[in-house]
Structure 1
Amino acid sequence: MTEPDDAPGPGSAAAEVERVYRAEYGRLIAALVRRFGDIDLAEDAAAEALVTALEKWPAGGVPPNPAAWLTTTAANRAIDRIRREGKRDAKQRAAAMAYDDTPHEPVGPVSDDRLRLIFTCCHPALAPEARVALTLRLLGGLTVPEIARAFLVAETTMAQRITRAKRKIAAAKVPYRVPAAEDLPERLDAVLTVLFLVFNEGYLASGAGTAGTAGGSGASGEAAEPVRADLTAEAIRLARALHELLPEPETAGLLALLLLTEARREARVRDGVLVTLADQDRGGWDRELIAEGHALVRECLRINRPGRFQLLAAINAVHTDAPAAADTDWGQVVALYDRLARLDPSPIVALNRAIAVAEVDGPAVGLALVDGLPGLEGYHPWHATRADLLRRLGRGAEAAAAYDRAIQGTANPAERAYLTRRRGELVAPPGDAPEA
């Protein structure tokens, strides 16, 4: 009888590299930026650590503390590069600081490296869209194509935007330090938006979502994951920290929104296929998260200073309060979207409002609203919404074409599977039906 082999094989080691790297990417980049003060150096060192792990772990096994191993390896690679360059005294001092045991300067009101990184990237010297894009890249490890899809812009445009933001930080000598307490509120909206987009990417991943893509080089050719629980958990963790730091209504609203959405995550995908809200098993929802989210929404209602994230949280509270989909108070949902549209008159808010209107006034009214929205031709949920409304109106050929456009526009496997199944369920016109 042979002894069991506990050492991981090459495949399992590579998978562990992907898992750890993906989960620790934001922490790793934030720690490196804090230590060395150079974003490009941090990204390069992290990528080198990934390559080293892929070389060593399959042969030598996964280390006992893989996250610490990656952090130490990346820091060593950064120090090696600084020493090789040896061009500026400032970089030499940065290398020395890596081994300096003396206490660092006080961290101020934000002690979490990743939360500090978000606030740093949201510096007023950067354009608002650049702040969000750069933080998504550094904190969540999202690729340029993933971020471009979130912003509905071309990949080349997004790549240039991120590059310009890094150059601006270097040229303006934007320091990596904690903003003073009085400066935190003015950066709040950008930070909330970042956390919201990081969570959304985890809740319905737009791309491959592997460790390799986070670092810029593929570690395997495995299929995409429909949900990235590491990103949703990280966004919620940071939202909690932000709410403790700044207990404002909008921080409470964001935290409530994330909790109420996360509560449905386990029911979101079944057998590799996306499950829509109407069809989810509500018995599988996390009632503790729902109760916490509802309490935060009630707290916001008492303060009565509504903002974008508070209204989105209130909409989710209506959905999670209904025992069954048929019990949803769609009239209240429409009223909340009306208020949200006044604060955020974006076509995406208008699209979601149109979906709610279709539940109140019928699919024909909803379709008319959807077809009147500008600038969403490249947004696959717009095509998916049109497909569903056309299907409900019995316009099968048009629905099939809309489903095709929606399928082409998403890389998420669970969403593609759902849209493909719905397209296959379209009923042919009566005249085309075979005789019995």
Structure 2
Amino acid sequence: MKKYPLFLGILMLFFIFSCSTTRKTANTGKDFGQLKLIGQYNVPFNFPYKGTLTGGLSGIDYDAAAGQYYLICDDRSALNPARFYTAKLYFSDKSFDSVQFTAVTTLLQPNGNAYPNSKTNAALTPDPEALRYNAKKHCLVWSSEGERIVNEKDTIVTNPGVYEITTDGRYIDAFSLPAQFRMQATENGPRRNGVFEGLGFTPGYKYTYVSLEEPRYEDGPRADIRDTTAYTRIIKYNSATRQPVAQYAYKLEPVAFPATPPNAFKVNGISDIMVLSDKKMLTIERSFSTGVKDCTIKVFITDLTGATDISRVNSLQTDTHFKPATKSLLLDFSSLGKYIDNIEGVTFGPVLPNGHQSLVFVADNNFSPLEENQFFVFEIVP
């Protein structure tokens, strides 16, 4: 979603390193750890790279074999064709030195063409938000939020989607879209800019989880400054068949601050997930209120164990007999004492020279000079 106009945390992790897939993974366990901030790096505003403007970095994933990061850009082909970048991040257990872009790749439609911008064909314009690298299949999976514009001049309704592509951007296939997540001109289904913001694979890549940023219309109101019991959804897919196998309810925190003026835009939702095991994941909740410069970013350890499969539940307002996922706060970025922007991506990075795992976050600046393309690197201290 676009933003409109603990320095220490407890992390229950143990590390599993897979030689067969080269993916660095972690499961929650009984061992406690702490998050220690190594450093921060900001990419300059509108930094030019190979004929494109960098910015809008909305998802990040690490390819351990190549030692590189994939970064999806949420430019809706307005500045340059929809795309993703690869980059190198240079850091140790003591400092974070720089980010170097190494390639830019255009996302391609099934017909092999680049995606058009909204002026050319709004119905085909994507809204890229999340990206993950599947080291087992050597391919990428990315998500689009679609579009929903309903006013006196236009009605543009485009479904969100999750797509599997090659590492050079060519379309392979789409994940099946459950009927509950089809965009509609009426106030049904997903809200605009509140759809597929996060995704991740279970260890071994058997399942793919996809998170909805905000509640569907049928599932109740959006998060507000008071606890409004705002529930969004997490979808579980079979990665091989790309078919959904379950859905789970996730309760959002209230919006952190009132907006100024009071009726101005404010939001809280899931901006990304990082899957830890078959049942556990990190969830990032990003709260923003007009009139407040910072975003409020909270990271939770979320557990789906015992949560109800709500695939057949159309409305979480009318059918309240379900058990949502449980969650516990891992990190509140406000504890860092720094300006925190629109963090929308998280990934495990490499093992540090001291043997500890790294954790990397990226913020989307929405191509605004008032916002920042931030990278934060943490060390996970056992």
TM-score (norm 1): 0.23
For CA contacts below 8 A with separation 6 or more, give which structure has more relative contact order: 2
- Higher Cα Rg: structure 1 or 2? 1
Larger helix share, 1 or 2: 1
Larger strand share, 1 or 2: 2
